[in-house]
A = this chain, B = another copy of it.
Amino acid sequence: MKRKTSQRQAIRDVLADAGRPLSVAEVQDAAAATVPGLGSATVYRAVNDLLADGFLKAVELPGQPARYERADLGHHHHFHCESCGKAFDVQGCPGKMSQLAPEGFEVRAHEIILYGRCPACVAG
C-alpha cells in the first residue's frame, strides 16, 4: 500500500506551488530545504508516481531534461530562458495551428516554445 512520507509530501508541495515546470534537479534542490539529504532516486520515483496518478504532466524541451508541472493547468505554452535555463509558462495561444500543416497531415497537438531572457536575467 502507498505510504505518506515527508519526502513525497515535500516533493509534491514543491511541484504544486512552483508556478513553472521544474526539472528533477530543481525539485530536489527545493525539496531538500524541507527534507535534508533527499536523494535524486527518491525524486524520480515520486515524480513518476505523480505522473501515473495524473497529478503531473511532463514538459519536454529540446535538449533539456524533462520538466514537470501540474496536470490541471489547461492549454498553454512555454518560455525557456537562455541565460538561467529556467522554464516558464506562457498563457495564450495563437490557435489554429493545424492550418499550418500541409494537406494530408493530421495534427493532434502542438507545442510552442519561446526562447529569450526571463525578467530576472534581463534585470541582472
Q: Across the interface, which residues of B come within 8 angstroms of A115, CB to CB? A: 107-111
Q: How many monomers of this protein are in the complex?
A: 2
How distant is the Cα of A111 from the Cα of B107 in the complex, in angstroms?
16
- Is A102 a contact partner of B90 (Cβ separation < 8 A)? yes
Q: Across the interface, which residues of B come within 8 angstroms of A106, CB to CB? A: 116-117, 122
**Interface set, chain A 20-59, CB cutoff 8 A to B:** none
- Is B100 a contact partner of A92 (Cβ separation < 8 A)? yes
Q: Which residue of B lies closest to A93 (CB)?
A: B100
Q: Across the interface, which residues of B come within 8 angstroms of A90, CB to CB? A: 100-102, 105
A90 vs chain B, min Cβ distance (A): 5
Residue A97 at the B interface, CB < 8 A?
yes
Residue A74 at the B interface, CB < 8 A?
no
Q: Known contacts being A62-B62, A112-B110, is A119 close to B105, with CB within 8 Å?
A: yes
Binary contact readout A71-114 vs B (1 if CB under 8 angstroms, 0 otherwise):
00000010100100000101111101110111111111111111
7 contacts between A and B (CB under 8 A): A62-B62, A90-B102, A94-B96, A98-B114, A101-B116, A103-B119, A109-B116
